[in-house]
Amino acid sequence: MKGADAALYNPRTVEEVFRDFKGRRAGMIKALTSDVEKFFQMCDPEKENLSLYGYPSEQWEVNLPAEEVPPELPEPALGINFARDGMQEKDWLSLVAVHSDAWLVSVAFYFGARFGFDKADRKRLFNMINELPTIFEVVTGTAKKQVKEKSSSNHGSNKSKSNSKARGSESQGRHSEVVQPKDEDEGLDEEEEDEREETCGACGGGGPSSLDEPWIFCDFCETWFHMKCVKITPARAKQIKQYKCPSCNNKRARPD
């Protein structure tokens, strides 16, 4: 089947290579999800080196590696069966998924090199591939999580924007606020990107809307600071009724 696959199908355009990529990807996803019991049984550690192949027809196969050297196409990771019983099934499937992703990209760019894709074609091919979740993301459920978090982030963007403005205008004379990090997987939509104009008053780094680390607000100069830049811990910040930054502390009292 491997030889026939290579002999009968040689995609020559970006669109054809991408279609080839999608077919192989769909077959391998079947092996690692809906057909996982069959795939598991076929990967007997007592057998010789085995590899997982995906085909443009959206089918998959577990087989020995190609005998010819060099092979017609790049070969997938071999010996996937040897690790089957040495780790938890979900971890083993995730490992096979990672190697499957690497193989798909290598096959796609093999075709690109063979048929002379230029820089623009290679970039277009990669961008088309990159729009799809990886096999690893599908197998581990990460793809669904990212879609859910993106939807949640977009839904709450207007509310988060108004809240960030409130922190700047209503903090005078009240408890200083601690901004905690968000999940790294959450993306920023266009409105959130607009809010990133605020910067740390000490180091000039991205403002609290980036939410990549704890921040604290000075109630006197109304400026945000990284806690690490002003040497304040989150625990200490919660005990402060009104925070005065080092710069304000060093200023002399000014007349009313």
With cut-offs at 50, 70 and 90, classify the pLDDT of residue 150: low
The span from the CA of 166 to the CA of 253, in Å, is: 27
Q: What is the pLDDT of residue 135?
A: 97
Q: What CATH number does domain 199-255 carry, 3.30.40.10, 3.40.50.2000, 3.40.50.300, 3.40.190.10? A: 3.30.40.10
For the segment 34-87, what is each residue's pLDDT rounded down to a tens digit? 999 999 999 999 999 999 999 999 999 999 999 888 898 999 999 999 999 999
Which one is predicted more confidently, 40 or 235? 40
Query: Which stretches does DSSP call E strand in 157-221?
Result: 178-179, 215-217
Amino acid at 199: T
Angle of helix 14-32 versus helix 89-114 axis, rounded to 10: 170
Q: What is the mean pLDDT of the chain?
A: 79
89 vs 97: CA distance, rounded Å: 12
Q: Give the per-residue pLDDT at 111.
A: 95
Every domain range in the chain assigned CATH 3.30.40.10 = 199-255
Q: What pLDDT score does 160 carry?
A: 43
User: Is the bond preceding residue 11 a cis peptide, omega within 30 degrees?
Assistant: no
Cα–Cα distance measured from residue 206 to residue 66, given in angstroms and rounded to the nearest whole number: 52
Q: What is the pLDDT of residue 197?
A: 52
Within 10 Å of residue 117's Cβ, how many Cβ atoms? 20
Place of tokens 């304000």: 248
Alpha helices in 48-189 (DSSP H): 89-114, 119-130, 135-140, 142-155, 157-170
- 108-131 confidence digits (pLDDT tens): 999 999 999 999 999 999 999 999
pLDDT (0 to 100) of residue 224: 87
- State the DSSP H helix or E strand holding residue 181, giving kind and residue range, or none if neither: none
Asked if residue 170 has pLDDT above 90, the reply is no
Give how far the C-alpha of residue 119 lies from the chain's centroid of Cα atoms, to the nearest Å.
Answer: 25
d(CA 22, CA 128): 10
Would you say the C-alpha torsion 32, 33, 36, 42 has a positive or negative sign?
A: negative
Confidence of residue 8 (pLDDT cuts 50, 70, 90): very low
Flag whether pLDDT at 169 surpasses 90.
no
pLDDT > 60? residue 31: yes
Looking at the predicted structure, is the pLDDT value of residue 140 above 70? yes
Tens digit of each residue's pLDDT (9 = 90 or more) over 175-184: 444 555 444 4
Q: Are 216 and 230 in contact (CB under 8 A)?
A: yes
Least confident of 85-99, 109-123, 143-157: 143-157
